[in-house]
Amino acid sequence: MTFVTDDAAMTGRLKSEKKYLLDEMTRGDMAPEELPLFRGLPASRRAELLRHAMVHSVSPGTVLFEQGDVPNFQLVVLAGSAQLFGRSAEGREVLIEAARAPDLIIPAAVLTDAPYLMQARVPEPSRFLLIHAAAFRAAVDADPLLAHAVIGSLAHQFRRMVRQIKNLKLRTATQRVGCYLLALSKRQGTPDRAVLPFEKTLIASELGITRESFSRALSSLGQSGIRVDGQTIAILDARRLAAACTPDPLIDGADAGDFLI
Amino acid sequence: MTFVTDDAAMTGRLKSEKKYLLDEMTRGDMAPEELPLFRGLPASRRAELLRHAMVHSVSPGTVLFEQGDVPNFQLVVLAGSAQLFGRSAEGREVLIEAARAPDLIIPAAVLTDAPYLMQARVPEPSRFLLIHAAAFRAAVDADPLLAHAVIGSLAHQFRRMVRQIKNLKLRTATQRVGCYLLALSKRQGTPDRAVLPFEKTLIASELGITRESFSRALSSLGQSGIRVDGQTIAILDARRLAAACTPDPLIDGADAGDFLI
DNA sequence: GTCCGGCATTGATCCAAATCAAGGCGCGGC
DNA sequence: GCCGCGCCTTGATTTGGATCAATGCCGGAC
């Protein structure tokens, strides 16, 4: 089992660099045994699952799977992260979401044995647990605790998607940018600034706008008390920023920041 | 336990009329015992669940719950349908999805005991099974078959949301309209026409555009072989329509039409 | 150090879609 | 029958954001 690595997938379009993600590396480097996914499982069952599993370390640029592929494995992020992209028939590509340790990567596709709707790429050196899809489905069917964990993961992921839809349908580009910054600063625990987790081009595509519009939105939010310095956005006046973009906990939400499962 | 019915919720904004939905009524009027959700459950467990449940018939305009509410019940559609709306801080409101028999209504919120991200309204006379939330969670934890059914429902709903995001981020308004028509005609089994399931204003909001833009998109698609006659859209040349809007099974998909669980 | 390639910004222009504003149609009430 | 209210369409205008194009900036290769 090998992944497509680097090459064509990395030329051109959207890719992500290490530098933005180094700080993330401090978080989450899990041994498979201590995954929350397995919490409370009888040792025998865990061992059984891990017998059908392996750990892969992959380098930046690796494509874990393509959209349209039928899942062979349930992937679980042990360290690093994966980015999920949607691509149109014309070849345009947008970031839909990012998975970090200890997330499951799209259990919805694996459990229904349906083709992936997104491509997964790895932006930084990362490690994944690969559990055979059929074995995973069987284990989930057999073990209530595992099923419970999976349900939690699916539910959180569903809610993230609903939030994103509300964000896209109900807000303007500038509002999305402002709320994104506020959510980021809150998640990072630094009320006076936010550090962008990856390239602006990529964030723009996550927010459903072009990089140029993102850049302009940032500069227009200068009027609302922010200063841009590279990847760091200083938030001088959170009150004013909030007034300009009307954040809403049901969109930018509490649990949008805490991680799946 | 009573729902807010009619009154303020129906004045103004988005509402839905019976006429569009009468044909849907022929489909799906289920006895609680024969829900796919309960398929294979030991009779004792099903009885136990139904002891904590009730059936409610509700009239059009009823609000089942508001966004922000904490779930009291897992609702299951027995007959008719429910529409799920997202509302912004400013009060703008959009349709995010529709649930029909025998769908579960947002199990993601019920199972995580988290506030609803959407409001649910009933556009036509409908019947729902209401299962006490705590009892439902307990039963799902205890019963692998029930858990399996819930996982299927969550997974399908997640995938629908991903499709919608791709639709919004990757396509223009006219493409979305064209693909919507093609998907509709396929789902309805009539390759030469599509019948809109509800008011155009509502469909427009589901597609993330204004009613005016929807109207214009329809008329501009006249050039691609469609004719609009009220709620019925004749598709004279599916080939040409497809060429104009580049449908994609990973967005308009196969299972976007078949219903959850 | 220089060169180069990817990312970001900025400006100019274009375009799609929103908004604003009239009518028109169909249906239910009376 | 007539009226009135929603819903829809159509037109005029505005605007938010995309696209096109040029330049700047930084980091890495050498």
Strand C–CB A15 distance below 7 A: yes
| Interface touch B166/A88, C-beta < 8 Å | yes
| pLDDT at A168 (0 to 100) | 98
**Residues of B whose CB is below 8 A from A159:** 108-109, 112, 114, 117
| pLDDT at A3 (0 to 100) | 63
d(CA B162, CA B159): 5
| Interface touch A144/B148, C-beta < 8 Å | no
Size of interface A-B (CB pairs under 8 A): 161
**Dihedral sign from CA coordinates of B254, A91, B164, A249:** positive
| Interface touch B158/A157, C-beta < 8 Å | yes
Strand bridging mode B126-132 / B73-79: antiparallel
Q: Is the peptide bond before B249 cis (omega within 30 degrees of 0)?
A: no
Which nucleotide does the CA of B171 lie closest to, via C1'?
A: C16
For A258, residues 6+ apart whose C-beta sits below 8 A from its C-beta are none
For B216, residues 6+ apart whose C-beta sits below 8 A from its C-beta are none
Closest CA to A222 of A244, A252, A201, A197: A244
d(CA B30, CA B102): 8
| pLDDT at B106 (0 to 100) | 98
* Burial of A50: CB neighbours in 10 Å, binned 0-12, 13-18, 19+: middle
Write the residue in B109, B117, B152 that is nearest to A163 by C-beta. B117
Q: Which of residues 160-179 of A touch strand D (CB under 7 A)?
A: 172-174
For A205, residues 6+ apart whose C-beta sits below 8 A from its C-beta are A14, A93, A94, A95, B169
Strand order in the sheet with A126-132: A53-58, A126-132, A73-79, A104-105
| pLDDT at A19 (0 to 100) | 54
The average pLDDT across B177-183 equals 98
| Interface touch B144/A142, C-beta < 8 Å | yes
The average pLDDT across B164-173 equals 98
| pLDDT at A243 (0 to 100) | 96
The average pLDDT across B38-49 equals 91
Write the residue in A87, A155, A251 that is nearest to B111 by C-beta. A155
Q: How far is A246 from chain B (nearest CA, A)?
A: 7
* Burial of A211: CB neighbours in 10 Å, binned 0-12, 13-18, 19+: middle
d(CA A60, CA A15): 9
Strand D–CB B103 distance below 7 A: no
| Interface touch B147/A142, C-beta < 8 Å | no
Closest CA to A200 of A177, A222, A179: A177
- Cα atoms in the 13 Å half-sphere on the side-chain side of A42: 7
- DSSP secondary structure of B172-224: -HHHHHHHHHHHHHHHTT-TTEEE-SS-HHHHHHHTTS-HHHHHHHHHHGGGG
d(CA B175, CA B96): 18
Rg (CA), chain A: 19
For residue A75, the SS3 value is strand
| pLDDT at B14 (0 to 100) | 39
Across chain B, mean pLDDT equals 89
Give CA separation, A55 vs A38, A52, A103, A127, B245, in Å: 15, 11, 15, 7, 42
For residue B166, the SS3 value is helix
The average pLDDT across B24-51 equals 84
d(CA A65, CA A111): 16
Phi, psi of A213 (to 5 degrees): -65, -35
Instruction: Among all protein residues, pick the one whose CA is nearest to the C1' atom of C17.
Output: B213
pTM of the model: 0.92
Extract the tokens encoding B119: 């409001």
Q: Which residue has the tokens 């699916």?
A: A154
Q: Is the peptide bond before A197 cis (omega within 30 degrees of 0)?
A: no
The average pLDDT across B144-171 equals 98
Instruction: Among all protein residues, pick the one whose CA is nearest to the C1' atom of C6.
Output: A12
A116 touches A71 (CB < 8 A): yes
d(CA B203, CA B187): 16
- Cα atoms in the 13 Å half-sphere on the side-chain side of B18: 4
Closest residue in A to B143 (Cα) is A144
Of A211-220, B19-28, B38-47, B248-257, the range with the lowest mean pLDDT is B19-28
Across chain A, mean pLDDT equals 89
d(CA A143, CA A130): 19
Closest CA to A32 of A11, A49, A12, A20: A49
Residue B16 has pLDDT above 50, yes or no: no
| pLDDT at B105 (0 to 100) | 98
Q: Which of residues 61-90 of A touch strand C (CB under 7 A)?
A: none
Instruction: Among all protein residues, pick the one whose CA is nearest to the C1' atom of D26.
Output: A230
A102 touches A36 (CB < 8 A): yes
d(CA A110, CA A132): 10
Residue B24 has pLDDT above 90, yes or no: no
Q: How far is B174 from chain A (nearest CA, A)?
A: 15
Write the residue in B158, B159, B169 that is nearest to A86 by C-beta. B169
Residue B6 has pLDDT above 70, yes or no: no
| pLDDT at A260 (0 to 100) | 35
- Cα atoms in the 13 Å half-sphere on the side-chain side of B80: 24
pLDDT tens by residue, chain A, 261 residues: 556 544 333 333 333 444 554 444 445 688 998 899 999 899 998 999 999 899 999 999 999 999 999 999 999 999 999 999 999 999 999 999 999 999 999 999 999 999 999 999 999 999 999 999 999 999 999 999 999 999 999 999 999 999 999 999 999 999 999 999 999 999 999 999 999 999 999 999 999 999 999 999 999 999 999 999 999 999 999 999 999 999 999 999 766 444 333
Q: How far is B206 from chain A (nearest CA, A)?
A: 9
Q: Which of residues 220-259 of A touch strand D (CB under 7 A)?
A: none
| pLDDT at A22 (0 to 100) | 43
Strand C–CB A216 distance below 7 A: yes
For residue B75, the SS3 value is strand
d(CA B15, CA B61): 7
